[in-house]
Amino acid sequence: MEPFIHQVLAGLATGGIYASVALALVMIYQATHLVNFAQGELAMFSTYIAWSLINAGMPYWGAFFLTVGLSFVLGVVIERVVIRPVENSPVLAVVVVFIALLVILNSVTGWIYTFTIKTFPSPFPGQPLFGNKYMSSHEIGAIGVTLVVLLLLYVFFRFTPLGLAMRAAAQNPESSRLVGIRVGWMLALGWGLAAAIGSVAGMMVAPIVFLDPNMMGGVLLYAFAAALVGGIDNPAGAVFGGFLVGVLENVLGAFVIGNELKLAVALVLIIGVLTVRPSGLFGKVHVTRV
Amino acid sequence: MALLETANLHAAYGQTRVLHGISFSMEEGTITTLLGANGAGKTTTLRALCGMVRTEGEVRFGGQRIDGRATEDIVRLGIAHVPDGRGTFVNLTTEENLRLGAYTRKDRAAIDADLERVYGYFPRLGERRAQQAGTLSGGEQQMLAVSRALMLRPRLMLLDEPSFGLAPLIVRELFGILRALNQKEHVSMLLVEQNAAMALDLADHAYLIETGRVVLSGTSGEIKSNDAVRRSYLGY
Ligand SMILES: Nc1ncnc2c1ncn2[C@@H]1O[C@H](COP(=O)(O)OP(=O)(O)O)[C@@H](O)[C@H]1O
Ligand SMILES: [Mg+2]
């Protein structure tokens, strides 16, 4: 029983990271109906920024918050400069831009920092907290950080006028303009927030998987599976999906299919959801007239 | 000085030209109605006024040129548009819809007071303030659209067929409230209607539009007694 509990708890820790990235995907999806394939690489790039800051001698939490801020700005700038020109282009053109962004971020990072694996520090103590034998401090800390991020996002979208305006702009741009919302800027803010969330996820996952330019590939796949399981247009569903995928990945990897095939869990989930229930567990069913 | 004035206003959707030089004006504090058959260009005229369609020609609001400006900026001048089809934010609650109407305002306390004032005019919206707006009835959504516009504290309201699809009793209630808003709060209104009889009862002035041109204008009384209007639009 004990190894099982251990795997479930470890799954919750990585699941929180998938949940964050899934939430970033959902935010962009709700506004544009597109999946941002570059979301993972953006998070990876942010994590390298944090690594540079920490190596330059900045204290961990200073580097953490500065990275979140810089990532927000980077997300806004990318939307304004790269995405906005193709806003009204066919879906395929935008997807190509996303993939180009992915490849460029990956190789630019490799060029600046090389592809050698680096260690990334955890802000949490090395010994398990409270002498528990199930979870490392980093795992508990990562869950805590994830929950704080989710709570802040919930409060922002639910209780602030700007959060309300962003939701409105995503679902009804024309009516939003009629009440004075600058819809284009709401989209840019969405990109900024998504990049900021991604940076937190990157900094929380890097101590576990180590820092290298390809570290977010698997995370993005799990996050995509999580978003699909929860319903790609449902933020709460995506968060639930993230934790579910994290636990499934760990438990199945440890006891059923082995660690080498863990990533297959994500693929099976993606294909399974797309064929059996494309709207996910909690998503709205969309009917398109043909 | 006229509150709103257009001169030789043209508009097109892509290659399709829809307005061919519309000129009209209205005074502050009045209700003016645009009448015309389906497809005449009434909705397009309202869309042209707030920058939702490509235009040529002049639009002046309070003497200031506003043609060519972005919709978001025109709203900030105090023009609230109750669009064709109501424009409900269907996944948001009634109250969130109303708060969005006040998005450009910074006076938080006054916004809360205005919410209560709007619920006073439309008690049914108050009862459904926490309900998803997409689940409201057609009549309730129309009242929500009018209320959302009111939350701007507008100088001018553009109303696109507020009676569309509503039961006669509800239409009468709605028009009664529009009249009260005009008389008590001095909101100017530009009203587009197919229900010409009701619109002429409410409005001070009227313009008749046919295929993108103004073909007749005058006080409501004059238009009501025009024989051609009576035959084609009032049906007696
Ligand atoms: N989005 C659009 N694209 C092309 N043509 C349009 C569009 N909207 C309206 N039209 C055309 O413009 C003309 C005027 O439409 P509209 O202004 O909606 O008339 P009304 O509101 O008086 O019924 C109609 O011939 C209509 O077919
Ligand atoms: Mg119309």
Distance CA A18, CA A10 (A): 13
Complete DSSP assignment for B59-105: EEETTEE-TT--HHHHHTTTEEEE-TT----TTSBHHHHHHHHTTT-
For residue range B179-213, list pLDDT tens digits in order. Answer: 999 999 999 999 999 888 999 999 999 999 999 99
Give the per-residue pLDDT at A131: 66
Same domain (yes/no): B190, B207: yes
Residue B233 φ then ψ, to 5°? -115, -25
Domain C-terminal end among B130, B153, B176: B153
Average pLDDT, chain B: 93
Range(s) of the domain holding residue B132 = 89-153
Q: Which residue has the higher pLDDT, B21 or A134?
A: B21
Give the per-residue pLDDT at A279: 75
Band of the pLDDT at A287, cuts 50, 70, 90? low
> In the sheet where B64-65 sits, what is the strand order?
B16-26, B4-13, B54-61, B64-65
Chosen for mutation from A172, A175, A176 (greatest number of chain B CBs closer than 10 Å) is A175
Between chains, do B72 and A167 touch, taking CB under 8 Å as contact? no
Q: What's the gap in Å between B46 CA and the centre of ligand 2?
A: 9
User: Tokens standing for A32?
Assistant: 């544009």
3-state secondary structure (DSSP) of residue B191: strand
Complete DSSP assignment for A245-263: HHHHHHHHHHHTS-GGGHH
Residue A290 in this model has a pLDDT that exceeds 50: no
| Protein residue whose Cα sits closest to atom 12 of ligand 1 | B18
CB pairs under 8 A between A and B: 59
Per the domain annotation, does A242 fall within a domain? Answer: no
Same domain (yes/no): B117, B24: no
Burial of A287 (0-12, 13-18, 19+ CB in 10 A): exposed
Per the domain annotation, does B37 fall within a domain? Answer: yes
Give the per-residue pLDDT at A263: 76
Distance CA A54, CA A58 (A): 5
Same domain (yes/no): B6, B72: yes
User: Tokens standing for A193?
Assistant: 């927030």
For residue range A109-153, list pLDDT tens digits in order. Answer: 999 999 999 999 999 987 776 767 778 888 889 999 999 999 999
Mean pLDDT to the nearest integer, A89-102: 90
Distance CA A22, CA A227 (A): 5
CA-nearest residue to A179 within chain B is: B101
Per the domain annotation, does A70 fall within a domain? Answer: yes
Distance CA B112, CA B129 (A): 13
Residue B74 in this model has a pLDDT that exceeds 90: yes
Q: What's the gap in Å between B74 CA and the centre of ligand 1?
A: 22
Q: How many domains does chain B have?
A: 2
Give the per-residue pLDDT at A286: 56
Scanning B64-103 for CB atoms below 8 A from A yields: 70-72, 75-76, 80-81, 83, 87-92, 96, 99-101, 103
Band of the pLDDT at A2, cuts 50, 70, 90? confident
Question: Which residues, in sequence order, are CB contacts of B5 under 8 Å at separation 6+?
Answer: B24, B25, B26, B58, B59, B60
Same domain (yes/no): B70, B159: yes
Distance CA B173, CA B152 (A): 22
Residue B140 in this model has a pLDDT that exceeds 60: yes
Distance CA B163, CA B196 (A): 11
Q: How far is A109 from chain B (nearest CA, A)?
A: 39
Per the domain annotation, does B84 fall within a domain? Answer: no
Same domain (yes/no): B108, B214: no
Per the domain annotation, does B83 fall within a domain? Answer: no
DSSP lists the bridge partners of residue B55 as B11
> Alpha carbon of A13 to those of A45, A69, A138, A198: distances in Å?
22, 24, 9, 15
Residue B134 in this model has a pLDDT that exceeds 90: yes
Same domain (yes/no): B95, B71: no
For residue range B90-128, list pLDDT tens digits in order. Answer: 999 999 999 999 999 999 899 999 999 999 999 999 999
Range(s) of the domain holding residue A182 = 19-215
Same domain (yes/no): B102, B189: no
Per the domain annotation, does A1 fall within a domain? Answer: no
Q: Is the CB of B38 under 6 A from ligand 1?
A: yes
CB A245 within 8 A of CB A229: yes
Per the domain annotation, does B46 fall within a domain? Answer: yes
Give the per-residue pLDDT at B84: 93
CB B114 within 8 A of CB B150: yes
Residue A176 in this model has a pLDDT that exceeds 60: yes
For residue range B214-225, list pLDDT tens digits in order. Answer: 999 999 999 988
Distance CA A248, CA A269 (A): 10
Average pLDDT, chain A: 88
> In the sheet where B156-160 sits, what is the strand order?
B79-82, B156-160, B188-193, B31-35, B205-210, B213-219
CA of residue A189 relative to chain centroid, distance: 16
Band of the pLDDT at A285, cuts 50, 70, 90? low
Chosen for mutation from A157, A178, A286 (greatest number of chain B CBs closer than 10 Å) is A178
Q: Does B13 touch chain A (CB under 8 A)?
A: no
Per the domain annotation, does A60 fall within a domain? Answer: yes
Same domain (yes/no): B96, B137: yes
Per the domain annotation, does A210 fall within a domain? Answer: yes
Give the per-residue pLDDT at A137: 87
Q: How many domains does chain A have?
A: 1
User: Tokens standing for B127?
Assistant: 């009862």
User: Which residue in A196, A206, A242 sits closest to A16, CA to CA?
Assistant: A242
